[in-house]
Amino acid sequence: MRDMWAQKGQKGTVILSCSDPRVIPEQFMGLGPERPAAIIRNAGGRAMDAIRTLQVLNTITPLDLIIVVHHTDCGTTHVPDNEVRERIKQISSLPAEAIDAMDFGEIKDLEASILEDVAMIKDDPTYGGNAPAVVGLLYEIETGKLSQVE
């Protein structure tokens, strides 16, 4: 991964990661003054929730590298969308049909979800044909191992 960083530089780098407090990209990615990056964190580290932020960041500083990180033992692998929908129905005033139409980004297969999010970011038409490099990584909570998913 050091080669990936060197090839793309440091300016315009974003890491998309889960909001799980056990996942701290600043630590396992070795970020700091020599290796700066913006961090976007959301449930599951899903691209569907990060696209708007990536679009805005790209207008401020053109992005040259986006790193998507999903991790083992993620809550989105344990709580499926249908369960989230039922919980929301219990507390929300929205019609059940509206809630049933919502997608919350459950993860059934970690590697498949990483590839899906990488593709979603690469296919975003707002880059105008100048899409940044997008890399998918799997972070193993149990061991601290970080591996590229291709």
Q: Per-residue confidence at 115, pLDDT binned at 50, 70, 90?
A: very high
DSSP string, 105-123: ---S-HHHHHHHHHHHHHT
Residue 66's DSSP bridge partners are 14, 134
Residue 115 in any domain: the answer is: yes
Structure tokens at 22: 């056990």
Does residue 116 surpass a pLDDT of 90? yes
Tens-digit pLDDT profile for residues 87-109: 999 999 999 999 999 999 999 99
The overall average pLDDT reported for the chain is: 90
**φ, ψ for residue 5 (rounded to 5)?**
-65, -45
Tens-digit pLDDT profile for residues 128-140: 778 889 999 999 9
Residue 31 in any domain: the answer is: yes
Q: Which domain holds residue 49?
A: 12-148
Residue 119 in any domain: the answer is: yes
71 is in an annotated binding site: yes
Q: Do 66 and 14 form a contact (C-beta atoms < 8 A)?
A: yes
C-alpha 139/C-alpha 148 separation (Å) is 9
For residue 4, the model assigns a pLDDT of 52
Q: HSE-up of 149 (CA within 13 Å, CB side)?
A: 23
What DSSP state is assigned to residue 95?
Answer: -
DSSP string, 13-76: EEEEEE--TT--HHHHTT-BTTB--EEEEEGGG-HHHHHHHHHHHHHHS---EEEEEEETT-HH
Residue 1 in any domain: the answer is: no
Q: Do 18 and 70 form a contact (C-beta atoms < 8 A)?
A: yes
Tens-digit pLDDT profile for residues 30-73: 887 777 889 999 999 999 999 999 999 998 888 999 999 999 99
pTM, two decimals, is 0.86
Q: What is the CATH number of the domain that holds 59?
A: 3.40.1050.10
Residue 78 in any domain: the answer is: yes
Number of domains in the chain: 1
74 is in an annotated binding site: yes
